[in-house]
Structure 1
Amino acid sequence: MRIPSRRWLLGGLVALLVVSVPAAAPTALARTGAPAPPLRLSLPQPTGAYPVGSTELHLVDAERPDPWVAGRPRELMVSLWYPALTAHGGQPTLYLPPLAAQRFADRTDAQLGLAAGQVDWAGIATHARAGVPVRPRLGGHPVVLFSPGGGVARAHGTMLATELASRGYVVVTVDHTYETPEVEFPGGRVETQRLPEIDPTELNHRMLETRVRDTRFVLDRLALLARGGNPDAGHRRLPHGLGAALDLSRVGMFGHSAGGFTTAETMLVDRRLDAGVDMDGSLAYSFSAGDFGDVVHQGLDRPFLLMGAGQSAGAPHTHQHARDWADFWAHSTGWKLDLYVAEGEHFTFTDHQALLSQLAGAFPLPPGLVEGSIGTVAPDRIVGSLKAYLTAFFDQHLRGQPQPLLWNPSPRHPDVTFVRP
């Protein structure tokens, strides 16, 4: 699939980034001739005060035909990450469900030049426990939605989702079915990417329209959950206290790449979203045609955070240099801030920042892959900065707690530049 701007990008763990660099040869066996044990990757520990629980929902929009596959209603899988009552009980939530993990491994091992079994993709655990009771709070917890990049699974936002949950938010991560390479549904059904071969700009319009409708449908289902209903298509048992934990009077959203575009466009048409974040996402369907999103021309009247990294079209990805972001900035009347990570790259804002660093430490990856994906920024330091700024943004605009971190640059976060008007 050809996309007109890299800020829409793309696939699984560096899946489509490696097309521009040569593949590495499969890593050699240990000197004994026996294969080394598979590498077990890990995600950064959340830093908030609360343990984290998780569950998933299978959502079916019976009134909307699927835009990509004829004869089917629109189906989604979403994960909910929440502050838990206890750190005990339940099983650790896996990063990827087993069948999706196998398909992901088959694609990714080949693209990274690894032999099958060198990385234990199916064994990656999150810092959340499945199905444990929700920590009660009078009035509920603020809710934040996450939309991933184009052709990227919801799993790749887990690091930031669990961080927000540990700080008292209910976070809902969404897979956009048939755009995502693989989505595993209950019963072992896996649906793969099924996008049509059509004009790229037309495809981008259809993708964004679908994503916005997906997001609004998820908001509808969350409202049913908050009223005491069970929106899961199979009516599977939900964690105790989940519906009561949702404060839908305070809802934010963040997204990476195409997910950032989704966030902004959804805010334009749905006032249930109170604040949003675009992490390095273009707001254009086609730069060459000057085809920008409606939100570029109309702006937003609610708080919005732009976060860019590295270079886009040969210039820093900020509102001072990118035409779409510049016009969006000029037309937006709400609170706004533009933060820039010069030494980062497009996937700095995803779990790739943590996972790819570990892979690079264990295997000889294709030349240029790491720098082209996550830049040269210090991994642990930027992960801490991303957590801090994202939490501060939602604390200020969903909880009404002023955050000095958002006022001026901080020496604790030297990789993050404030882009002034």
Structure 2
Amino acid sequence: MTNQLPRERRRVTPRRALAACAVAALCTLTAALPAAADTRAAPAPSSAQPLSLPAPSGRYRVGEVNLHLVDHSRPDPWHAGKVRHELMASVYYPAAHTAGHPPAPYMLPAAAAHFDDVTADGYLDLHVPAGRADWARTVTHVTRSAPVAAGRGGRLPVVLYSPGLGEPRTWGTTLAADLAGRGYAVVTVDNTYESPEVEFPDGSLATLALPSDHDAFVRKALDVRVADTGFVLDQLQELNSGRNPDADGQPLPKGLVGALDVTEVGMFGHSMGGTAAALAMDADHRISAGIDMDGNLTNLDGSLMPVARHGLDRPFLFMGKDGTTDTGPGWQAFRAHTPGWNRQLTLLGSEHSSFTDAEALVPQLRLRPCERAHDIGTIDPATAIRTNEAYVSAYFDHWLRGGSGRLLEGPSPRYPDMVFVK
């Protein structure tokens, strides 16, 4: 099966088909979609529209570097013939200055072409015909490999980001860059052969390995994400000590070594990435605070995941979409079994993708009103972005930096669209 299937064969079911119980509205996955492959793809046509993300709202400009991480102790979990497991990650951080450094691309060329042809209108169900958007030229307001600015106390709190199933790590750039502009090092991770497309430094592309058994796939994917999270944390400790992973074939940014505070780490994620944040916290006490954005804590058969059955001994925040949702049983069980700090918030007028870059990019894609509402709800996009940024930053400021946390205690007149669930 090739990557160039006709569109009418690729798009056959709504994206809730795979994980209606396990993760709310994750992606479209069907047997007609292309199988996993290492391949190369052509860039988007020049007539495609370049898009733009909002500028980070923090005091710092933002730099970024890609890391090629290789786990020699673990064979690839999705391909028996591969004796090592490779990942790609991006580190967003506050930049001392950006002069003389190029803009960071939103997606690399092969990944952008695959996202355009398969992921956007397939896995993410965004109603975007191939060739309409130039994902590689999307403006990020992030600079490649700029020197690092010293954080508070000289070190940067580390926060990990895990994307949803069927989403690339870049789909969380708005929130990652905004946190970095506030003085954090934010590490976004692609889980190879489970992320829709992962481009490596040599230009090769690893694409999603499709499931034949959906329940087994989701359970395995979560296990792999937990293991990948521990490995990434190990690699960040190595990097911070001067034993550097491959920075996408480039030198690490000046000032990055030694700048990371890896003693207390935060983690957040969207959809299955939010599920992974809870499970990774349960498995690794290096993660001291987490956020789940609309990710379920039940399995496909409706059974509770272990973390929902026994809760956590560290703070955890749920941020959910408006309206009917299937996250209820898992979230309720988790909160009932977590005696310590936890909160549940609902963003009024939002949809499942409102916690991702879709909120910023979909309004630029000239969709019909019904399609736009399906993708990102009815909330004003700028309001949704500003509200999400405020609560995510307030949460990590409180638990990783000792900030007041006042915004997390109850409704705020500044953000009337965020509702606290008792």
Preserved contact between residue 63 and residue 95 of structure 2 (Cα < 8 Å): yes
| Residue pair 1:10, 1:16 contacting (<8 A) in 2 also | no
Residues 26-105 of structure 1 mapped to structure 2, 5 A cutoff: 38-72=48-82, 73-105=84-116
Shift of 1:87: 3.0
Separation of aligned partners in 2, 1:94 and 1:230: 22
Instruction: Find the partner of 1:180 among 165, 186, 195.
Output: 195
Offset at 1:403?
2.4
**Paired residue type of 1:255:** G
Aligned-pair distance for 1:149?
0.4
1:269, distance to aligned residue in structure 2 (A): 1.2
In the alignment, does 2:363 pair up with 1:357? Answer: yes
Distance in 1, Cα, partners of 2:22 & 2:304: 15
Aligned structure 1 segments of 4 or more residues deviating by more than 6 angstroms: none
- 1:343 matched to which residue of 2? 349
Q: Deviations over 1:26-56 (max 9, x none)?
A: xxxxxxxxx9953221101111000100000
Residue 197 of structure 1 deviates from its aligned partner by 1.2
Paired residue type of 2:361: L
Distance 2:166 2:275 in 1: 14
Partner Cα separation in structure 2 for residue 372 and residue 239 of structure 1 = 40
Name the CA distance, whole Å, in 2 between partners of 1:239 and 1:10: 35
Partners of 2:22 and 2:351 in 1: CA distance: 11
Once residues 248 and 110 of structure 1 are traced to their aligned partners in structure 2, the CA distance between those partners, rounded to angstroms, is 38
The change in CA–CA distance for 1:110 and 1:171 in structure 2 (over 3 A counts) is closer
Structure 1 unpaired stretches of 5+: 20-34
Q: Which of 122-131 and 160-169 deviates more?
A: 122-131
Q: Which moved more, 1:181-190 or 1:368-377?
A: 368-377
Letter paired with 2:417 = D
Q: Deviations over 1:324-350 (max 9, x none)?
A: 111100111221111111310100100
From the superposition, tell whether residues 250 and 291 of structure 1 become closer, same or farther in structure 2 (CA, over 3 Å): same
Q: Is the 8 A contact 1:8 1:150 kept in 2?
A: no
Of 6, 19, 31, the match for 1:3: 19
Tell me the distance in 2 between the aligned counterparts of 1:194 and 1:291.
25
Q: CA deviation at 1:301?
A: 1.0
- 2-structure distance, mates of 1:247, 1:113: 41
1:226-270 alpha-carbon deviations (Å, 9 max, x no partner): 111102287641111112110011210000000011000110110
Equivalent position to 2:309, from 285, 288, 297 = 297
Q: Which residue identity does 2:244 align to in structure 1?
A: N
Matched, 1:202 2:216: yes
2:87 and 2:192 in contact (8 A); partners too: yes
User: 1:68·1:195 contact (CA, 8 Å) conserved in 2?
Assistant: no
The structure-2 alpha-carbon separation of the partners of 1:44 and 1:378, relative to structure 1 and needing over 3 Å to count, comes to: same
**C-alpha contact 1:69 1:194 (8 A) present in aligned 2:** no
Deviations for 1:117-143, whole angstroms, at most 9, x for unmatched residues?
Answer: 432222112111001111124441100
SS of aligned partner of 2:101: coil
Instruction: Tell whether the 8 Å contact from 2:119 to 2:196 is kept in structure 1 after alignment.
Output: no
Deviation at residue 114 of structure 1 after TM alignment: 5.8
Distance 1:87 1:283, change over 3 A: same
- Percent identity over the alignment? 46
Q: SS at 1:409's partner residue? A: coil
- One-letter code aligned to 2:164: G
Letter paired with 1:298: H
Cα distance between partner residues in 1 of 2:131 and 2:196: 20
Counterpart code for 1:412: R
* Aligned partner of residue 284 in structure 1, secondary structure: coil
Task: Specify the SS of the correspondent of 2:264.
Answer: strand
1:118 equivalent in structure 2 = 132
121-130 or 275-284, larger mean C-alpha shift: 121-130
Counterpart contact for 2:161–2:268, Cα < 8 Å: yes
Q: Which residue of 2 aligns with 1:134?
A: 148
**Scaled by the length of structure 1, what TM-score is found?**
0.87
Q: Structure 1 residues 249, 109: CA separation in 2 closer, same or farther (over 3 Å shift)?
A: closer
1:401 is aligned to 403
Q: 1:152 corresponds to which letter in structure 2?
A: E
**1:363-402 mapped onto 2 (5 Å cutoff):** 363-364=367-368, 368-402=370-404
Q: Does 2:339 match 1:333? A: yes
Judged with a 3 Å threshold, the aligned counterparts in structure 2 of structure 1 residues 269 and 113 are, in CA distance, closer, same or farther, namely closer
The farther-off stretch of 256-265 and 116-125 is 116-125
1:258 to 241, 251, 272: 272
Q: Is the 8 A contact 1:4 1:285 kept in 2?
A: no
Give the aligned residue type for 2:87.
Answer: L
The answer to whether structure 1 residue 307 and structure 2 residue 309 are counterparts is no
Between the two proteins, the alignment pairs up a number of residues equal to 388
Instruction: Give runs of aligned pairs for residues 188-337 of structure 1, distance below 5 A.
Output: 188-198=203-213, 200-232=214-246, 236-286=250-300, 289-313=301-325, 322-337=328-343
Which amino acid letter does the alignment assign opposite residue 420 of structure 2?
F
Give the alignment's Cα RMSD to 1 decimal: 2.3
Q: Give how far 1:188 is off.
A: 0.7
Contact 1:36-1:118 at 8 Å conserved across structures: no
Give the distance between the partners of 1:204 and 1:106, measured in 2 at CA.
24
Task: Return the alpha-carbon distance in structure 1 between the equivalents of residues 95 and 248 of structure 2.
Answer: 24
